[in-house]
Amino acid sequence: MKNKIAAVILGAGKGTRMHSDKPKVLMPVCGKPMIKHIIDTLETLPVDKIVTVISPEGEDVAKAVAPYETCVQAEQLGTGHAVNCAKATLNGFEGTILVVFGDTPLITADTFRRAAQKVEDGFAVVVLGFRPENAGRYGRLVMNGQELERIVEYKDATEDERAITFCNSGVMAFDGKWLFKILEKINNQNAAGEFYLTDAVAVAHQMGLKCSAFEGNPEEVASANTLEELAQLELYYKKAS
């Protein structure tokens, strides 16, 4: 890779659905907190900066990711808002900025490199997609050749769009030159009143920028919101090891 690489890890989620007082990203996969798996992988790239977005009660997460920096998302106002909390640390960063959810511990260094390469190839926004056995209610990635035209949430999709099997994993990469300019233009005019990172694709197009997506392994992009999903991650981890 020619460009520098930074990463924003979204780690403000709670472990409520896992019946734990621990923050979700500190739940273990094969004896290691999920977020530590991610950091260990990022370090092999290597990365120049890692910033983890934490909740106001996220002291334990901050300790777990030290010596890397953290920033606090005081209110849960959506994924776009969460990434924007890292602006003070990363604004002006020249290179690729990866955005990773702290509960997706199995993404490989090769996948992160592929994302960074697409940014180097001239795409301002890059999405990691996958093809699950059951696309269900995942957001769909609408492609035109190498270009990502839009991300369509399942509830907003037409029947033709719901037939698309290429889905959004949530993991994204941005040209650092454009990330925070894009985030400035994302609004919260939606039912939840939140700033969605997925809206970055539409905003980037409005700015005349190019977007793309590439395909990853469904097991690699798996995340965990429940104890059952955490157990599944352990199985995938052992299978890949």
pLDDT digits (tens, 9 = 90+) for 54-65: 999 999 999 999
Residue 191: which residues within 8 A CB-CB, separation 6 or more? none
Q: What is the pLDDT of residues 10-21, one digit of tens each?
A: 998 776 667 677
Q: Which of 43-47, 156-160, 172-176 has the lowest mean pLDDT?
A: 156-160
- Mean pLDDT within 164-178: 97
Annotated active-site residue in 17, 113, 131, 140: 17
Domains (ranges, CATH) in the chain? 4-240 (3.90.550.10)
Indicate the pTM of the whole model: 0.95
Question: Given a cut of 80, is residue 52 above it in pLDDT?
Answer: yes
Burial of 236 (0-12, 13-18, 19+ CB in 10 A): middle
Percent of the chain at pLDDT exceeding 90: 85
Mean of all residue pLDDT scores within the chain: 94
Residue 17 is among the residues annotated as catalytic for this protein: yes
Mapping DSSP onto H, E and C, the string for the chain reads CCCEEEEEEECCCECHHHCCCCEHHHCEECCEEHHHHHHHHHHCCCCCEEEEEECCCCHHHHHHHCCCEEEECCCCCCHHHHHHCCHHHHCCCCEEEEEEECCCCCCCHHHHHHHHHHHHCCCCEEEEEECCCCCCCCCEEEEECCEEEEEECHHHCCHHHHCCCCEEEEEEEEECCCHHHHHHHCCCCCCCCCCCHHHHHHHHHHCCCCEEEEEECCCCCCCCCCHHHHHHHHHHHHHHC
